[in-house]
Chains A and B, each alone.
Chain A
Amino acid sequence: MEPLLEVKDLYVSFHTQAGVVKAVRGVNFTVNKGETLAIVGESGSGKSVTSKAIMQLLPDHSASYDSGKILFDGQNILEISDKKMESIRGSDIAMVFQDPMTALNPTMTIGKQVAESVMRHEKISKKAALQRAIEILDLVGIPEPATRVNQYPHQFSGGMRQRVVIAIAIACNPRLLIADEPTTALDVTIQAQILDLLKEIQRKTGTSIILITHDLGVVANMADKVAVMYAGKIVEEGTVEEVFEQSEHPYTWGLLKSIPNLEANEQLYSIPGTPPDLLSPPVGDAFAARNEFAMAIDYEVQPPMFAVSKTHTAATWLLHEKAPDLSTVIQSTERELERTKRRDRKDFAKTDSIIQVHKLKKHFHMSGNSYLKAVDGVSFDIRKGETLGLVGESGCGKSTTGRTIMRLYEPTGGEVYFNGKPIHGDLKKQDENRIRQKMQMIFQDPYASLDPRKKVIDSVAEGIDIHKLAASVKDRRDIVQNLLEIVGLNKGFMNRYPHEFSGGQRQRIGIARALAVNPDVIIADEPISALDVSIQAQVVNLLKDLQHEQDLTYLFIAHDISMVKYISDRIGVMYLGNLVELAPTDELSKEPLHPYTQALLSAVPTPNPKIERGRERIILTGDLPNPMNPPTGCRFRTRCPYAMEKCKETPIWKEAKPNHFVACHLIE
């Protein structure tokens, strides 16, 4: 196989006021033609920075390439002219950026944004380029692409935007596609579509793909090779099977161990400690401080890459010939490793509800007389101390439901009660204030939800300031420090600004902010989507512990069904503004009643390459119908494999079994 891209000993650092952040510290990898390399690793380990370095898109004024080479087709990208680089971008190397919400120009039509790239590299007419754009959009599964090309990004849901970003990247059949968390924002069904699409493209055009993701299931599904990054270095590289089954680096072990087991009922494992601050990376192995098998040398000398096989390398002194045989060591630490038994799921059926939502509606006024019915008559209650999971396709109204409960949107109709008292409509100032402290929200888009001009300490402490929870400046700082530690961030991050963080780090800042006011209820909108599994586990454990200690109640909105299943006591499934099924977690996973729920569950990828390769799943055809003009009757009927004549009537919300609600004509 011919190498297409070789990254050799790449060092990248950021010059910030506090000092030099050494984000990438000697990264080496090779991507061959037609191959998919997955990069996984700690959030903040330098995955995005590395990929931006390949694109030469790091901010000029603060980033510096300290040493190393990036050879693309034998040509060192770091040395070629701007002009040359421009012609490589888009046509030879294309990239899908991590954050789809901000990656599209808000004032340019989708069609133009896609066509632009085609026009730049293929020198074809505007009209032809637009035609191509429509084809590509169709390819990535945007419904009615011919009309959609004239719309603007804000008229697209998050998932659709993600697909547009992918469309832009693949528009010119690049030889290398770098996809930075391409499916993080997507629900599992669409994720499955996208991954299939990428594979399809690869098969047709022989594109090489660098896939950055924290979802090991996706890795198992897609990748040929995996590189594991930690603290700016690649610590292990090998074929999927090698990494998943014979991993050598303790960090990889930790990662794999952190994956929630769909069936298991125990506390999630997470790697203890916090990742190192890259301002002053440790001298030896960066992972040493969190590595229970660390040896003295790990604190002194950086380990080299040891070859395990032709394709498998790992950077850990454990592979040195003088290293002790781990089997003995593992024995001695067995006790520590042993996973604590998870608490049993409580039966919340009899508990009082803390939040009651009754026929909640939120319609957004569009132009003229048209309304977008984002939430259209949703009723459920959340009981004290429970976790209610909310899942559903992107754009189905999960966030809107959460936000309307939070009083961030004025409901169009329906009622919301908190502890039995209505909290919809006008409230007295003090009541409002009280609710604001009692109910908190973790926002879906971590970057956008942080004021770019505020330091982390001030963002996190905002609630503390508002509700005057800190006695002194020092007190305030201590609280923030403590919170950062809780969410697995370095205390030193306190004085940094949001743009200086990686996606996952930002998400944790958002969590810390919500926790700061000691709320009773937290509406967590995708709180862990951008985190690597270990930190996901850490956060989930944290949420669980807090719930246990403080009797917290969660509304947990997420795409990642396995995580939702793990954390939730009950799960609600939404489709196009309606709740279609609501049941206790175990019941739902064992016996999903609604066809949509069934499809959703089947699409969840598992972090096992062997299973993933051969798996069949129910792939829903078509896209989410236009929420401005939803189908009559059962809204799912346009995509339902079992749709029948009767489905043209609106199904009623009924309790099919005790505590198991569903709205489907199939269930009588």
Chain B
Amino acid sequence: NFSDSSNGNSDSKDGSKDEKKTLKLSLENDIPDLNQVKTTDGISFGILNNIMEGLYRLDENHEAVPAMAESVEISEDKLTYTFKLREGVKWSNGDPVTAADFRYSWLRAIHPDTAGSYAFIIADYVKGAAEFVEGVATDSEVGIVAEDDTTLVVTLNEPTPYFLGLTAFVTYFPLNEKFVTEAGDDFALTTENILFNGPFTMTEYDQAAGVKLVKNDKYWDKENVGIDEVSLKVIKENSTALNLYEAGDLDRVYLSSSDIQSYQDDKEFGTESKFNSWFVQFNLTKAPFDNVNIRKAFQLGYDPEILTAQILNNGSTPASGVVASGMAGVDGKLFRELNPDLVTPNVEKAKEYLAAGLKEIGGTLPAIEILTADDTIAKDTATFLQSEFKKNLGVDVNISTKPYSGRLQAMRDDAYQMGINKWGADYNDASTYMDLWVGTPASPLRGHYSSTVYNDLVAKSKSETDEVKRMDYLLEAEKALVVDDAVIAPLYDEGKAFLQNAEVTNFTIHPYGAPLELKYIKKK
């Protein structure tokens, strides 16, 4: 059973004018699930983002712009959003996309029977949704109302300045009730059992092999879709992808760190970064990290710049706080610009802290182990830290590598002293990070951190309607977390290095949410 798609190569050879513009990309892993309410992984998100569309869509600069919605009215208290749908937007089967489709889909996403792990992204914000999830409220009590075919009114719990960005997220995409009910258990398992309203439709779908997308001629903005056909094939091995790229079978490929060196000066070389922050989580209940001075010593005792520049070398940027550097702040300024240089490596100071800490804990350090996952980047990071702590602080640190779920379990079970951890942003606001450490009760996964000062700051940011003030609370909160309490030690914002066919332009990867964006791509 070979898929019988013709090889993309042949089209480009006979350079006729009106030839189809095709794009050949690879996926790093299988496509687990295209059922938007349940799926959780970046690959599925990436595909869904291009075959479907929410009320808003992220543009090339990752700003939310109207998509299925033509406009929105936001109430004074910033709690009620009235969306007006575009006239004539259609599903791929010709049915119109209506406000009811959104209501149906959103309710489905939080309904106990059908919800997935991303239910919170609606339930946390929409009024009555949390109660609906618990089963104590009916659907009519949820703040999602389809007033007519083109008007959708949404009521929120708290003013949420980034809500429009959320509506661009996969979980917020519409679904056609009639179609979903008809498809039943087969929904989203084959191309026939899924409806499209995005820039592309899917003509081939094999979880293990990949998908083929074709420009959607029912899409409202099809004039601005630059590519006729996209193939996304599963290639798990980096070196294979690179070979394919060199053979002209791929238009873009990510490089592994050992390959970067030799392509760095190519004009096809580029890097991209994601809102994916790596940091060391200290366990505040385990010696020696129950001592703040020792935490600070370890926090300052290495230079992430060396790690990103010499070892990872993939476009990752050293971090000085926990919030990703590209994250929006306020008034057009980035969060990090408002909160710069929280942690600057300083070996001398680190040694001082260590000495102070040692005094406090009575002289000697216990054996220290750093917990890490088993992927190359995590392991390299651990190796780097180990050698830096040894070199700079004279401390021996052992590495304990565990598989993905094993690391998580160990942290949840409180069986770690320090662990290499990361967090990817779901939306473009610092609260996606700050919410994590609001420990009520304190979570071992977050080092048992529980600070009233911090919790207060975060809580205040939630109810604040003034953007500047809200941001101030969040800035303070990060300072408390990183500088005062030294709960984490910043490492870097994950980046990726890639090679890209020079004929392809406007390739957009969103740093948060659903990353892959094919709508704006142009190819010569």
- Chains A and B share a contact (CB less than 8 Å): no
Give residues in A with beta carbon < 8 Å to B. none
Chain B residues packing against A (C-beta within 8 Å): none
